[in-house]
Structure 1
Amino acid sequence: MRSNKKSLLAGLVGKGILKSRTPEMHMAEAEAQGMRAVYKLIDVDAFAGEVPSLAELVRAAELSGFDGLNITYPYKIEILPLLDELSDNARAVGSVNTVVFRNGKRFGHNTDLWGFAEGFRRGMDGVPRLNVLLIGAGGAGVAVAHALADCGVAELTIFDADTMRAQALAEQVQTNRPNVQATAISAITKDVADQLNGIVNATPVGMAKSPGTPFPAVFLRPDVWAADIVYFPLETEFLAHARATGCRVLPGSGMALFQAVRAFELFTGCEADPVRMKATFDAFDTVSQATAKA
């Protein structure tokens, strides 16, 4: 993939995202490829006074000459009516996390699906996939559900605090991935937990601003694997409990990295280097450790 692009101007729109590593990954990769790069965090929690609407934020970025925006919680579904065209991936899952501004139009993509799937393939090779519980049926959950189906999960059990949303996602997965048996549940019980091979958290629970765990720790077993999409903190309470129980765990870093790799390519038309972008991501942990020792 080649491009004569000389600069990158992009941003991330979301709530409670000031610790995101996405800006540094994009800027470091752009600069490594000889581009001038600016990537802005647009955190609605940081606004004083009245918060602009999503439509206003998108329009402002477009008018300011941005190449595009990444979209995160809680806007991945809300963004849909504001777009001109959707990629096949985004249309299938009904969720967008990357918007590209080009030729006066807004193009919506979903890089979460490939991002989670790629991280899962690399980090959870060989794990059993007969029955997996997905917690969260929002914008990220929709992408993760389809990614799990693509990674060979046979039975997908879906829980969300909004039971109708969980049911809608189960029906959507059945339609888009008919080889998977998808079922919505209204509560996570011991009977449900006893049947599981794996658990995936696709909710904000576990983030610094949403502490806690989405899955009862008492239901964990050493033969169950656990994955999270939250990456700040990298070791969520859910994963900490799972690791202490003896579970194989997958942090949210994989999805964060690979969705950014694909988004960078969409913004710039240039192929990204995953190894280089991972090094940028991992550098945050090195800095944190050095600060703690100082």
Structure 2
Amino acid sequence: MSKLRTALVVGLIGEGIGASRTPAMHEAEGAAQGLDYEYKLIDTAGMVDVDLGVLLLELNDEGFRGINVTHPFKQKVLAHVAERADEVALVGASNTVLFTERGPRAHNTDYLGFLHAFRHELATAPRKRVLLLGAGGAGRAVGLALAEAGVGTLFIRDNNVDAAERLAADIRENFPWTVAEPVDAAGLAGLVPDGIVNATPVGMVSHPGMPVARDLLEPRPWVADIVYFPLETELLRTARERGCATMSGRGMAVMQAAKAFEIFSGKQADAGRMAETFDSFDAKGDRR
């Protein structure tokens, strides 16, 4: 590949991303806007000792306009960028990197994506007490978005205690109306939150299972999951069977992709059109 090529080339770096719907959303939107637009997957599953900095340099040299970043690189990528957009300073993670003449510039479209979906799909949901599962790159974006959406008390559960404590401290500093507290495994049993949000990879095809014990999913107002493949995770299916309202990862996936498209192309995305592409996949992840 050469920088002389005329196509706008972008991609996604992550582990176990073969079923991602993001390439189709980007390429269909690019075609609709008359762009020669290519979206490539760089799946690190099975790779040993991935050097993210070298990989970014190689993609830049090959003519990529930018790259999306997903698990497990959303925080690691910050060590390899020259500039950070304002929302990255807040979230402390990036899912979108634009290659510029000044060097890689980090953005975060997860934050806006989740906030938009939550406000539209769970607009009237009670939010006095919410349990967030995960304080990594995606978890930070989701936790801060929940605070902005007016959650009263946010309990944060992550095996990395330091990560949970850092997120709680950042929420208290930036959103003083939200009480943010880490919670350990033993503390989960006594919680009775209005809602639960999964911001871990557990539930993905490559990470099957549930991030919490089934007993925690007693009938409660709502449960949300940012995983979108499968669209109905085991967590959401179990929650629905127990009478909870549910929110899948669809809305966040579409909106974060739309904002990333705008960063890469400099053109406004049609989120509705990108949602139609997202919905064109069947339950197995194949295009209809």
Find the counterpart in structure 1 of residue 91 from structure 2.
93
Do the aligned partners of residues 288 and 205 (structure 1) sit closer, same or farther apart at CA in structure 2, a change above 3 Å counting? Answer: closer
Match status 1:10 vs 2:10: yes
Do the aligned partners of residues 286 and 32 (structure 1) sit closer, same or farther apart at CA in structure 2, a change above 3 Å counting? Answer: farther
Give the C-alpha shift of residue 21 in structure 1: 0.5
Contact 1:163 1:184 in 2 (8 A): yes
Task: Report SS of the residue matched to 1:249.
Answer: strand
Find the counterpart in structure 2 of residue 3 from structure 1.
none
Task: Report SS of the residue matched to 1:183.
Answer: strand
CA distance in 1, matches of 2:72, 2:117: 22
Task: Report SS of the residue matched to 2:170.
Answer: helix
Match status 1:253 vs 2:250: yes
Give the C-alpha shift of residue 92 in structure 1: 1.0
Find the counterpart in structure 1 of residue 189 from structure 2.
190
Give the C-alpha shift of residue 189 in structure 1: 2.7
Find the counterpart in structure 2 of residue 277 from structure 1.
274
Contact 2:281 2:287 in 1 (8 A): no
Give the C-alpha shift of residue 46 in structure 1: 5.6
Contact 2:130 2:155 in 1 (8 A): yes
Equivalenced residue count is: 282
- Listed one character per residue, the Cα deviations across residues 53-103 of structure 1 (whole Å, up to 9, x for unaligned) are 111211111101111000000000000010011011001111000000122
CA RMSD of aligned residues (A): 1.7
- Listed one character per residue, the Cα deviations across residues 10-61 of structure 1 (whole Å, up to 9, x for unaligned) are 00000010100001100000010000111000000165xx554111211111
Give the C-alpha shift of residue 223 in structure 1: 2.9
CA distance in 1, matches of 2:283, 2:244: 25
Contact 1:227 1:250 in 2 (8 A): yes
Match status 1:242 vs 2:236: no
Match status 1:59 vs 2:57: yes
Structure 1: 5+ residue runs without aligned partners? 1-5
Find the counterpart in structure 1 of residue 3 from structure 2.
none
Aligned residue identity for 1:29: E
CA distance in 1, matches of 2:283, 2:233: 18
Matching residue within 227, 230, 235 for 2:227: 230
Matching residue within 97, 103, 106 for 2:104: 106
Aligned residue identity for 1:131: R
Contact 2:151 2:178 in 1 (8 A): yes
Find the counterpart in structure 2 of residue 137 from structure 1.
135
Q: What does residue range 12-27 of structure 1 map to in structure 2 within 5 Å?
A: 12-27=12-27
Give the C-alpha shift of residue 162 in structure 1: 1.4
- Listed one character per residue, the Cα deviations across residues 119-139 of structure 1 (whole Å, up to 9, x for unaligned) are 111111100010000000000
Do the aligned partners of residues 289 and 170 (structure 1) sit closer, same or farther apart at CA in structure 2, a change above 3 Å counting? Answer: same
CA distance in 1, matches of 2:134, 2:221: 19
Contact 2:94 2:108 in 1 (8 A): yes
Q: What's the TM-score, normalizing by structure 1?
A: 0.92
Identity %: 45
Matching residue within 79, 82, 103 for 1:81: 79
- Listed one character per residue, the Cα deviations across residues 120-166 of structure 1 (whole Å, up to 9, x for unaligned) are 11111100010000000000000000110111111110000112221
Do the aligned partners of residues 289 and 10 (structure 1) sit closer, same or farther apart at CA in structure 2, a change above 3 Å counting? Answer: closer
Do the aligned partners of residues 289 and 209 (structure 1) sit closer, same or farther apart at CA in structure 2, a change above 3 Å counting? Answer: closer
Do the aligned partners of residues 113 and 161 (structure 1) sit closer, same or farther apart at CA in structure 2, a change above 3 Å counting? Answer: same
Contact 1:12 1:71 in 2 (8 A): yes
CA distance in 2, matches of 1:206, 1:136: 13
Give the C-alpha shift of residue 104 in structure 1: 4.0
Structure 2: 5+ residue runs without aligned partners? 1-5
Give the C-alpha shift of residue 290 in structure 1: 8.7
